[in-house]
Amino acid sequence: MNLVLFITVLVVSFIVVRIGAIAFQLTGLEWSMAKFQALSCFTSTGFTTKEAELVTGDKQRRRIASVLIILGHAGFVTMIATLANSLRASTALENKLATPILPFRLPLFLVPLINLLVILVAVYIIYRLFTNTKFVRKLTHALRKRIIKREIFKPVSFEELLLATGGYGVSRVAVCAGSPVLDKMILKSELREHDITILAIVRDGETIPNPEASKKILLGDELICFGKLQNIRTRICMNP
């Protein structure tokens, strides 16, 4: 039972850190920074002053960081307790392993070693699974869709990166449910007719520069656009 609990907590920890990274990204952090911040908060290892200001200066990010820190402490304590208990043979397991196997009896001192071996194998398998690019990409995409759909965290819908004369500039916009361009190809989005050019699409942490006109705009995409800022707010943002 302790082994199962330890493995479960370990798997849940990986998933919680990934959810935290997605949540940080939805508040406007760059993906690599969002992953680092989520891991730092969950493990309470701290982070640089500049990055700390990005988290502590925003109400949503502070809430996300607080949840990650609390869950990280709870998970760490649980794993330590279950690990200690796993290395101590239970009475039921002692009786089972002490029964004769062929002409031999399995020494009881091997029970903790067997448990430790199972833990090491489980940790290795879980590590390989959560470092597998295809699996992590699919998991991240599924979690992001669920978070956005349930509106667990409110995504940053508009971020002006550069202001130019005449009301024109470069903006980064998150495509949310209700956006006029959702599920449309760039060619059919009528953005060009409103003097808006998509420079790049950020999807699942990857940047698609100079996307083709046939590329479909999906929920959760972040569009880096150049054009009149008021037009960008009206044509892309859910709440202009």
| Distance in angstroms between the alpha carbons of the first and the last residue of the chain | 53
Q: Which stretch of 33-42, 72-81, 147-156, 168-177 has the lowest confidence by average pLDDT?
A: 147-156
- Mean pLDDT throughout 2-30? 83
Token readout for 126 is 């879980």
Token readout for 114 is 């067997």
Q: Are residues 103 and 137 in the same domain?
A: yes
- Mean pLDDT throughout 67-76? 85
CA 23/CA 103 separation, integer angstroms = 58
Contact assessment for residue 161 and residue 170, using Cβ atoms and an 8 Å cutoff: yes
pLDDT higher at 17 or 98 = 17
Sign of CA dihedral 208, 213, 216, 222: positive
Q: Are residues 42 and 80 in the same domain?
A: yes
Q: Which stretch of 3-7, 90-94, 138-142 has the lowest confidence by average pLDDT?
A: 90-94
Structural domains in the chain (count): 2
How much of the chain exceeds pLDDT 70, in percent? 75
Q: What is the pLDDT of residue 93?
A: 47
pLDDT band (50, 70, 90) for residue 185: very high
Q: Are residues 144 and 184 in the same domain?
A: no
The region that residue 70 occupies, defined by phi over 0 for left and psi between -120 and 50 for alpha, beta otherwise, is alpha
Residue 87 counted as domain residue = yes
Instruction: Choose the final residue of a domain: 98, 133, 150.
Output: 150
Q: In this structure, what CATH number is given to the domain that contains residue 184?
A: 3.30.70.1450
Q: What is the pLDDT of residue 91?
A: 47
Q: Are residues 146 and 203 in the same domain?
A: no
Contact assessment for residue 73 and residue 63, using Cβ atoms and an 8 Å cutoff: no
Phi/psi of residue 227, nearest 5 degrees:
165, -170
Beta strands 196-203; 222-228: pairing state: antiparallel
Q: Are residues 100 and 183 in the same domain?
A: no
Token readout for 12 is 């849940």
* Residue 103 pLDDT greater than 60, yes or no: no
Contact assessment for residue 66 and residue 38, using Cβ atoms and an 8 Å cutoff: no
Mean confidence (pLDDT) of the chain? 77
Encode pLDDT of 115-163 as tens digits: 778 788 888 998 888 888 889 888 888 888 887 777 666 665 555 455 5
pLDDT band (50, 70, 90) for residue 79: confident
Give the angle 148-149-150 at the CA atoms, nearest 5°: 95
Q: What is the pLDDT of residue 118?
A: 79
Write out the residue range of the structural domain in which residue 9 sits.
Answer: 2-150
Q: What is the pLDDT of residue 122?
A: 84
